[in-house]
Chain A
Amino acid sequence: MSRMYRLIRIAVLSALALAVVPVAPLGAGATDDEATVLHVLNRVAYGPRPGDIARVKAMGVTAYIEAQLAPETIDDSRVDEALLRFPTLTMTTAELSAKYYRPLDQAQRAARAAAAKADPAMAAGTPPDPKNQTPEERMLRQGAQSVLQNLAQARLVRAVNSERQLNEVLVDFWFNHFNVYAQKGAVNEYLNEYERDAIRPYVLGHFRDMLGAVAHSPAMLFYLDNFQSVDPNMSAREQDQRLKQQQQRLNNPRARITPQQREEQMARLEQAKKNMPKGINENYARELMELHTLGVDGGYTQNDVQEMARVFTGWTIDQPRGGGRFTFKPEWHDPNTKTILGQTITGHSGVDGMREGERALGILARSPKTAHHIAYQLSQRFVSDTPPATLVDRAADVFVKTDGNLREVMRTILESPEFFSVEAYNAQIKTPLDFVVSAARATGATLVNAGPMVQALRNNFGMPLYGCQPPTGYKTTADAWVNTGALLNRMNFGLSLVSSQPRATGATIRTLAPDTSEATRTRLIAETLAGRISPSTAETLAQAQSAPQLIALLLGSPEFQKR
């Protein structure tokens, strides 16, 4: 980089009103000055921990980015060890179902039956009062809740402490891209597996693979209702017949079930008959094109949505409310030929019908519209709320040329001049998730109990993990997150972080700020903000009367809200 350019750059930086104290030395490597290192850590990672800026500066930002692009080469054993505290993480859906969800169902059914016996009028239709839970029921419920709690805590432990920072940033990005909502029906039972098996393995892999894994996931099939989308022409007689067979089986005197169980299962069959799906559901087909692939301006029509829904008829879940797995039901599939986006998809009956969906996913994954949509969103997350068209086009081009190789797309974005342009530095506002994670990282804490952070995201920031109801996922741009209430909550979070967990962060805070002297302040500002702080903020820090105050004032400052 020319000296002239660097001079201009520094002049611009200063002119943009964040008076630089102290001014970055000119002698630093062209792209390795502290401001650049901080920028890289703010975007590629969840912000710097104490010492990170010096460490990355020493290795060089390009080497750091390259290493982050190859997370499999980075040792993360410390975090792997910490994750052992969450034993449900590695369990399969079937295991979780057997251990937590089905016993809970049973206990609840039994409790309802008992209540109905005691007072039939009251029990009809009213949900069981949690206050009347038996101890056993309560234990089972807590067990079931711990699955999601573990998942959320593990996500934060990784975000704060993992060395594979880009990987964690991308897990958040892609989960949000393929958002599902924990509170919808049985989705919560499938979340653990969804994040672990459909998202994590592919964030630096091929887009088509992730798209396929998501399309096959019970979580998405349930969330966007495709599991009950069926060929409208499937004969009602066929459905009736299957039901009759099941009823006959139950009525067989040799069936080894008690009369009560028989009655229960018969009632369930009757209910199932009433609820039997009778036609297509467009929900998944629409979001697949609008959100997952082509984008809302991707040129598809309402007719494409309906045709796409027909393509995916029969993609369902074996026992959707029983911790089941993906299955293709040929008898639910519409075997007629479809046309999507002007391409003919020859209809198949029998098990071959599933190939139509795979073909459709291939068409979508290879569409230049998809490449552009994904390139835009990634550029928006990593570079600018309004990403430069030149960058988006180049990244889209790489997406097309590499058949959706996300590692190459990321490399293009993170090593682009647009990423390293001064206009991009500190130009974004942290989302609440970025903020709480970066605050924890700034204190240098080893996160032991992420519970309070999970709660803060849910109760104070309106950004609960796994709690975004619409399929769009959370916005990542500033307009969504800069407002008065949210800002006060950030300041309050900083205050609670330094005051509420003396055991967790007390030692760290003493190391971080043994006192409030000028030397301590200068080091702290250098390690969290690369020294870039306004005179006014510097002055308020100088007035702090204790180390916790000092840190809270730093974490709540305007400078720390940016990335």
Chain B
Amino acid sequence: MNRRVFLKNGSLALVSLGFAPHFIGKTVLAARARQKVLVTIFQRGAVDGLNMIVPFGEEWYYKVRPSIGVARPGQTAGAVDLDGFFGINPAMSPLADLFHRRDLAVVHACGSPDPTRSHFDAQDYMESGTPGVKSTDDGWLNRYLHAREHADATPFRAVSLTQQLPRSLQGTAPALAIAQVGQFGLRGGRQTDMMQTGFESQYAAAAGELLGTSPGLGRTGKEAFDAVKMLKDVNAAQYTPANGATYPRSAFGDAMRQIAQLIKSGLGLEVAFAELGGWDTHVQQGNGTGQLANRLGDFAQSLNAFYTDMGDGMSDVVVVTMSEFGRAVTENGNRGTDHGHGNAMMIMGGGVKGGKVYGKWPGLAPERRYENRDLAVTTDFREVFSELVKKHLDATDTSTIFPGFTSTGALGILG
């Protein structure tokens, strides 16, 4: 068979002769209408929260950011006003509408109690959900999956739209990494069935082995083939967003589109993950326009398209955005910003009490800063996560998900 043909027909090649797993009949296209979904977005590289959610009411902001400060609302390329003190970067203006519609909330001066300014460590802590503890071998989302195991869970319960499984989903509970839904499967042309049967039995046998690391190869292989079989009922390559939503033609826009598609396909998606990089703006980051604004534009347009596309379905979905730490309050010698501390998170969805910037604002005066240089953290990021798993996903006990941490429950972003 001509390879080009079967590459082109990749999605059609997801044919399987294998036995149908028991859950297929139960779940696919069945009424899972009230399935709650949590979508987690990681802005890798430390987004500059102060230029994303701009404290334009702070005099210090403009003092220490003479060339990169985002102008006040009403000025050229000025922030879009949110609440008279904070504004949103003009490149993200679609999200201002969602804010005013009370479907989007912001938590500012939010972050980790750990002081690290290392991308690697800070991402690791935010994803393990255990700041300061390196030995944690699974992620907080995976521990959530464990805490709320249920009988009709499908292989699509937790999906990351990435090539590698993110740290937050790593662990012993099953989770899928699918970079492109339409290309997920074995591409062996006419031999696909035969090859799939072969590989399936290889990995099924390996699933029993004790050797090696977690998650085992065998289990992963089994999950892959289960998922392939379920996906064959979904025309993954064909998808038209609803309500005229247009996703940006970017990797992140693509990921958000596919998350919407998976939710609507009724495959049992409960936790989704997507990420985007390019936030490490040490040099020439710009203000209301420029390098950072361009990234923020893609970010906001993708989120907005997802919101539009989901329509009423948004009432069961919450999207949360995060980044490992914020950036220094003062601009550096290259019209950029170096690594900092506190940052802003956004929470979007039907059940969100939006239209408000949550968290205690510490101020930007030098003596109010963390180590005299960065935005201080007044809300532990685990407060936000705890609320999401408790109030949106209905987990009753978060002690295994965030060991050693007790939420104050004071935020009240959800219900």
What 1/0 mask marks residues of chain A from 64 to 91 whose CB sits below 8 Å from any chain B CB? 0000000000000000000000000000
- Which of A427, A471, A539 is B211 in contact with, Cβ under 8 Å? A427
A3-11, A165-173, A208-216, A493-501: which lies at the B interface? A493-501
Set of chain A residues within 8 Å of B213, measured between Cβ atoms: 385, 427-429, 477-479, 482
> Total A-B residue pairs with C-beta atoms closer than 8 Å?
194
What 1/0 mask marks residues of chain A from 473 to 495 whose CB sits below 8 Å from any chain B CB? 00001111111111110011001
User: Which residues of B (101-130) have their CB < 8 Å from a CB of A?
Assistant: 116-121
Set of chain A residues within 8 Å of B59, measured between Cβ atoms: none
What 1/0 mask marks residues of chain A from 1 to 27 whose CB sits below 8 Å from any chain B CB? 000000000000000111000000000
- In chain B, what residue has the closest Cβ to A425? B211
Q: Known contacts being A486-B163, A558-B221, is A296 close to B121, with CB within 8 Å?
A: yes
Name the distance in Å between B306's Cβ and chain A's nearest Cβ: 21
Max chain A Cβ within 10 angstroms of own Cβ: one of B44, B224, B227, B334: B334
CB pair B283 A228 closer than 8 Å:
yes
Chain B CB within 8 A of A449 CB: no
CB pair B186 A492 closer than 8 Å:
yes
Set of chain B residues within 8 Å of A491, measured between Cβ atoms: 186, 195, 199
CB pair B227 A484 closer than 8 Å:
yes
Chain B CB within 8 A of A462 CB: yes
User: Which residues of A (227-259) have their CB < 8 Å from a CB of B?
Assistant: 228-230, 232
Chain B CB within 8 A of A278 CB: yes
CB pair B333 A549 closer than 8 Å:
no
Name the distance in Å between B113's Cβ and chain A's nearest Cβ: 16
Set of chain B residues within 8 Å of A281, measured between Cβ atoms: 282-283, 332-334, 336, 338
- In chain A, what residue has the closest Cβ to B374? A302
CB pair A549 B117 closer than 8 Å:
no
Chain B CB within 8 A of A132 CB: no
Bound state CA distance, A492 and B220, in angstroms? 16
Q: Known contacts being A478-B213, A540-B198, A549-B195, is A280 close to B120, with CB within 8 Å?
A: no
Q: Known contacts being A228-B283, A385-B213, A486-B177, is A540 close to B223, with CB within 8 Å?
A: no
- In chain B, what residue has the closest Cβ to A550? B198
Name the distance in Å between A384's Cβ and chain B's nearest Cβ: 10
Max chain B Cβ within 10 angstroms of own Cβ: one of A282, A478, A488, A500: A488
Bound state CA distance, A470 and B279, in angstroms? 11
Set of chain B residues within 8 Å of A469, measured between Cβ atoms: 45, 277-278
The tally of residues in B whose CB lies under 8 Å from a CB in A reads 69
Chain A CB within 8 A of B389 CB: no
Bound state CA distance, A491 and B221, in angstroms? 10
CB pair A485 B283 closer than 8 Å:
no
CB pair A484 B186 closer than 8 Å:
no
Chain B CB within 8 A of A534 CB: yes
Bound state CA distance, A462 and B202, in angstroms? 25
What 1/0 mask marks residues of chain B from 206 to 237 whose CB sits below 8 Å from any chain A CB? 10111111111110110110011000000000
CB pair A482 B215 closer than 8 Å:
yes
CB pair A488 B202 closer than 8 Å:
no
- In chain A, what residue has the closest Cβ to B188? A495
Name the distance in Å between B247's Cβ and chain A's nearest Cβ: 20
CB pair A487 B221 closer than 8 Å:
yes
Chain A CB within 8 A of B69 CB: no
Binding site for A on B (CB under 8 A): 3, 44-45, 116-121, 137, 162-165, 167, 170, 175-179, 184-189, 191, 194-195, 198-199, 201-206, 208-218, 220-221, 223-224, 227-228, 277-278, 280, 282-284, 332-336, 338-339, 371
Q: Can you add 9 more A-B contacts, CB < 8 Å, to A483-B220, A485-B163, A539-B201?
A: A17-B208, A281-B333, A429-B217, A479-B214, A486-B163, A492-B186, A535-B205, A552-B188, A553-B199
